[in-house]
Structure formats: structure tokens, C-alpha cells
Amino acid sequence: MTAATATYREAVRSGIRRAIQQDTRVFLMGEDVGRYGGAFAVSAGLLEELGPERIRDTPLSESAFVGAGVGAALGGMRPIVEVMTVNFSLLAIDQLVNSAAALRHMSGGQLSVPLVVRMATGAGRQLAAQHSHSFENWYAHVPGLKVLAPGTVQDARDCVLAAVDDPDPVIVFEHQLLYNVQGTLDDDAPVADVWHAAVLETGTDLTLVTYGGSVPKALAAAAALRSEGINPEVVDLRCLRPLDWQTIIASVTRTHRMVVVDEGWKTGSLAGEIVAGVVDRGFYELDAAPERVCSVEVAVPYAKHLEDAVLPSVSRIVEAARKVMPRHG
């Protein structure tokens, strides 16, 4: 198969299918992943194609089925556990933080937990306060976990495959607004190095750092800025733990200015960690104070116009970019 147009959803499905076909230890489990095809239709058709041993519906209990995934990983399997949305993962945070993330350390390296947990994240679909969270930074805070957040169609496939191949627990965040996004998918391409950031567009005037669902917004903002004569570089983090400081610092060294776009709330955000890390590692490369574009610190509203006002937007990214640029006149 050569490169073709596919949706982000289809790319994730392709990664799951390939992982299961290549390794008898891999299986998918979660609420409604089988006959229903997944809450976001990611696993549609996989039960019929791969059978009930590999595509397993679970009871509606995140604590139970994520715990079962940890146990299966300890037993030598490589489970892919789908948690419907990130807010539901809070019901399994004990299994993820106190068990999966800690067992290699607590066993003195004798145990590994090759567990993949996929979950939908982010806002923008009018799912209101309880289903619109961006908790990527909560999990990126935890030693022992690795965190991926694909922002493109190809990375959606590659992040699944890279995560399954890893000996330690990996959380994969899939933004809800990306599932219908179309892009190029090369199913025959080798798995990309998603553990490092990607420079999606090169530039000379400032660095836009982002990930996941904010990638299309950053690219749209970059196009708008170029029409004003500002030439931004766009860095897609892809991996949130561990962060690829080498790529981030190299970009800031080229541009000397930075705007970080993060759908999480600003207080305690991943954006704050990135700014602090750049100041630690490259303070003298900066010609202006970095800017952060985050969600307004309120519960995400249901009403569409209010939801849009709360989230990072192209216009807010452009405004932040203008702030870090030199003033003329």
C-alpha cells in the first residue's frame, strides 16, 4: 500500500490492527470496543476481523479493566486498553500511578508493565465540563509513565505501534476533534521516532510549541502570521514525557522567541514546564519573554460560543505571537 488519504480515526485503527496481527500477545480491551466499535468508532469492524479473543469488551468499570490490563501486562501480554475519555481515567488513576508506573522501580527492575492505555482527550465537541478535560500533564508528571499525544494522521498510527513496542506503560492521548481530520497515511512506512518532537514547519522569527489537538491551530496561526510577514517555526512535541529538550532548545536557538500552545489550564500546565525548561537551558537565547496560550481557568462550558472562548484559538495564538515580536514605530 502506498500513501493515501485517511482520517486520524482510521490511522489509529490501522495501528491497532497491525499491532495485533504482528504479535500474538497484543489485544484490545475496553468499554464498547467490540460489537459497538468504540465510542469514537476507532475499533469499528475489528471484532469481526480479528475475533473476540483479540477485541474484548469489558464491564463499565475503569478501575477493574485498567487493573486487568496491568495484570495482563505483568503476565506477559501486551494489552491496549481503551478508556473512553480522559475524565474516566481518574477512576483508574490508582492502577496507573500507584501500580503500572511504580512496579519496575518497586521490583528492582524485575517487573515490566508493557501496557498501552489510549484515551480521548480535549474539548470542542460540546461535551460540557465533565467530558472536556485535558489532563495530559497530570500523567506526564509521573515518573515511570511515558506519554504520547499524536497531532497528525501518520503519528496517530505510529504512536500506537511505538507504544505497543515499549516495555513500560505508555499513555496515548487522542484529541476528540482530530478523529475526523484527514491527512496522509503511509501504512507501509516504518514507525516514526515519535519519542522525539517533529519540526512541522521551519521558520526564523519565533517558535510555536504545541501537541495533539492544538497542532492544526498552530499550523493555521503560522499561516496567518506569514501573511503579516512573521515567519514562525512549528514544533509538534508528540511525546510529553520524556520531553525532547534538544529539539525545543535548538528551535528557540534559531528563532529566539517562543509561544507555547497547551489546551490544559495554565496553572500547573505543561506549557509552564516547557517555559521553565527553556529558561533553565536556553535563557540567553531568548530575546523576549515566552508566551503561553492555554485554556481559560474555568470548567469547560457546554454552550458552543462559550466553549470556543475558553479554548486556545488561532486568533489567541496570533495575538501571543505578535506580543513576543519586536515592536516597530
List the catalytic residues.
62, 131
User: Residues 12, 190: contact at Cβ < 8 Å?
Assistant: no
**What interhelical angle do 270-282 and 245-255 show, nearest 10?**
70
Q: What is the 3-class SS of 147-190, one letter each residue?
A: EECCCCHHHHHHHHHHHHCCCCCEEEEEEHHHCCCEEEECCCCC
Q: Would you say how long the chain is, in residues? A: 329
CA 169 to each of CA 74, 194, 305: distance values in angstroms, whole numbers, following the listed order: 11, 15, 38
**Position of cell 525532547?**
244
Identify whether 242 is preceded by a cis peptide bond (ω within 30 of 0).
Answer: yes
Backbone CA torsion sign across 230, 233, 236, 241 = negative
- All three cell numbers of 23, joined, read 504479535
DSSP state string for 267-326 = TT-HHHHHHHHHHHHHGGG-SS--EEEEE-SSPPPSSHHHHHHHS--HHHHHHHHHHHSP
CA distance 238 to 228: 28
Q: Are 211 and 240 in contact (CB under 8 A)?
A: yes
